[in-house]
A and B are shown apart, each in its own frame.
Chain A
Amino acid sequence: MTPLFANGPEPQTRIIIAILLSFVLMFVDHRMQGFDSIRVYLNSMVSPIMYAANLPQRLLDWSAESLSSRSDLLDENARLRESHLLLSERLQRMRFLERENDRLRALLGSPLRQDIRKMVTEVMSVESNPNSHQLVLNRGSLNGVYEGQAVLDENGIVGQVVSVGTTTSRVLLISDHTHAIPVRVERNAVRSIAIGTGSWSRIELSFVPHSTDIKVGDRLISSGLGRRFPEGYPVAEVTSVVSNESLPFAQIQARPIAALDRVRYLLLLWPPDAEKQPKKGALKNLAEEAEALIP
């Protein structure tokens, strides 16, 4: 039965409470990062909805897989076998070069580069809003995913993990307008910072002086500075360099090498020397390094 008078507080009171609560939440969440630890639980709680949303696509994938014909499978098998052979040859050469590099680095007294642990993950959902480029992956803290972890596809860096749930994690893409990544030009090791623009196919290098030697077609690789991303992975390719002397800096645009708009399978990296919790760990490491310097 429909009550003649609504029970509970007045609508005006309700909306005022809702507005106040929202503002407090936004302030605490954005300005004070107060929910970073609670977000793990919140993300875990909503993960069933995410898995449900992903179900139709999984079903489609599964039916496409189970319905593909024998000849298609044989074709694919042959293709994969071929690429496997080619890649193994490169791997053999790479192993040789790696050993040589290790020996040379040992001679120079530089620290050796170690192997990086990796894990393959699948993308569950992609954010559609142009003002937020994010992905959700189907791995979480149960698999050892941590905040700030680097995420790659087969071509280059895709982004970093910004929040973790128990079975899902959220990735901020390098093209998001709030993301920045320290890079280096592969050709001449000029350092810069690449900032996302909110467009899938464009990131910008900021604060680059006019005289800097960066050309169209240069590859940008991660520099490893800032200790978030491991060193040496491809990030982007320079597409335009505009040096207008009336502006304080050159305007340099680049196209991400990873296909950000059609990612499906991604790699999570565990660099051996990276701190598990960059936020708190970095400070501690700095303090330890400083202590080691004091005789």
Chain B
Amino acid sequence: MIGSRTLIALTLLFALILAIAPMPKMLESFRPDWILLVLFYWAIALPHRVNVGTAWVCGFILDILLGSVLGAHALILALVTYIASANYLTIRNFSLWQQALIVGLVSAFYHLGDYWIQHFLTTAYFLPELMWPVVTNTFIWPWAFLLLRKYRRRLKIR
């Protein structure tokens, strides 16, 4: 019997792999933030398993994988997970599409935060295409949610 922790860690690992998997040039600016979606799901489904600490560690690994400043993604993912786990009872009761809108808002915050940190540290300037993943995240959330819920129920992760 595999423990719940391992099964959750597997989904996070898979999300990390998807975050850096090569994609066609055309689709690359639309790449959804898998790690954000998966963390968000676990934070509202099992807040006692996945919390700010888990998110921070994932963000730290993402920083190494993406070669960004260490701590940048860790900070934003921790903040996002904090928002999710502070309101998990509210968010759980929303319908799928309302949840999708909230995920959209949160991922807008994620990308703006990423941009702010980069702008603060280097000479990065704002490009509108940075915000495309917000749209993709919003549309992918319902499917990601259903898939992860099925995974959780089938394997009885608690």
A residues apposed to B, CB below 8 Å: 1-3, 6-8, 11, 14-15, 18-19, 21-26, 29-30, 35, 39, 42-43, 45-46, 49-50, 52-54, 56-57, 124-132, 134, 136, 162-163, 170, 177-178, 198, 261-262
Contact = CB atoms under 8 A, between A and B. Distances in A.
B67 to A, nearest CB: 5
Contact of B67 (A24, A49, A134): A134
Interface of B: 13, 16-18, 20-23, 25, 28-29, 31, 47-48, 51-53, 55-56, 60-61, 64-72, 74-75, 78-79, 82, 85-86, 115, 117-118, 121-125, 127, 129-130, 158
Nearest to A39: B64
Contact of A198 (B29, B72, B124): B124
B22 A125 contact: yes
Given A125-B20, A131-B118, A178-B123, A18 B67 contact: no
A70 B71 CA distance: 52
A14 B115 contact: no
A18 B123 CA distance: 26
A33 to B, nearest CB: 11
B28 A18 contact: no
B124 A131 contact: yes
Given A126-B22, A131-B130, A177-B122, A14 B51 contact: yes
23 contacts: A1-B158, A6-B51, A8-B51, A11-B85, A18-B75, A18-B82, A19-B79, A21-B71, A22-B74, A23-B71, A23-B75, A29-B69, A46-B64, A49-B13, A49-B17, A49-B20, A54-B21, A54-B22, A129-B66, A130-B127, A131-B115, A131-B127, A198-B124
B157 to A, nearest CB: 11
Given A11-B85, A198-B127, A49 B74 contact: no
Nearest to B71: A25
A54 B21 CA distance: 6
